[in-house]
Amino acid sequence: MLGGLSPMTAPVFAQSPSSPAAVNNWADLRATLASCWSVPPNTSGSQIAFLFGISKNGELRGAPLVTARRLEGDQEARKHYEESARDAVSRCFPIPVTPSFGAILGESPIRLRFVNTPPTAAYQINGNITIFAPP
């Protein structure tokens, strides 16, 4: 590991919600965000990306900005996919964070992608987070 950057890691999949523990690192944050997402049916191939900030206390700083989207399926499926991703972000915050990781978060933009495609290698470096739908 160089300069706090981790190499590409295994895909992070959406999972069942778990009780919140204090998030202390990027891997914990990815797992927490993944636990908040419920993937809607009939949306295979869809992706949406957000950009946002998190305060040192684990709260959202402003509304997440959609930076990219590719929504598949019929109109209803596309609507549900975007809503499920937005709901995941809303549901997850505030996230309890340790003081040391909160200091890092307060200085880091978060780029979060929700992806419903077969898992591929994805950069999971600090604030670049990709959550894959479970296979």
Describe the strand order of the beta sheet including 128-132 as a list of residue ranges: 12-13, 128-132, 109-115, 47-54, 60-70
Of the candidate ranges 3-7, 33-37, 76-80, 108-112, the one whose mean pLDDT is the lowest: 3-7
Q: What's the CA gap between 40 and 20, in Å, rounded? A: 23
What are the E-state strand segments in 8-86? Answer: 12-13, 47-54, 60-70
Q: State residue 9's pLDDT score.
A: 53
* Residue 19 near residue 36, CB atoms below 8 Å: no
- The pLDDT > 70 percentage for the chain reads 85
Average pLDDT over residues 94-111: 93
Q: Look at residue 101 and tell me whether its pLDDT is greater than 80.
A: yes
129 compared with 3, residue with greater pLDDT: 129
Output DSSP code: residue 133.
P
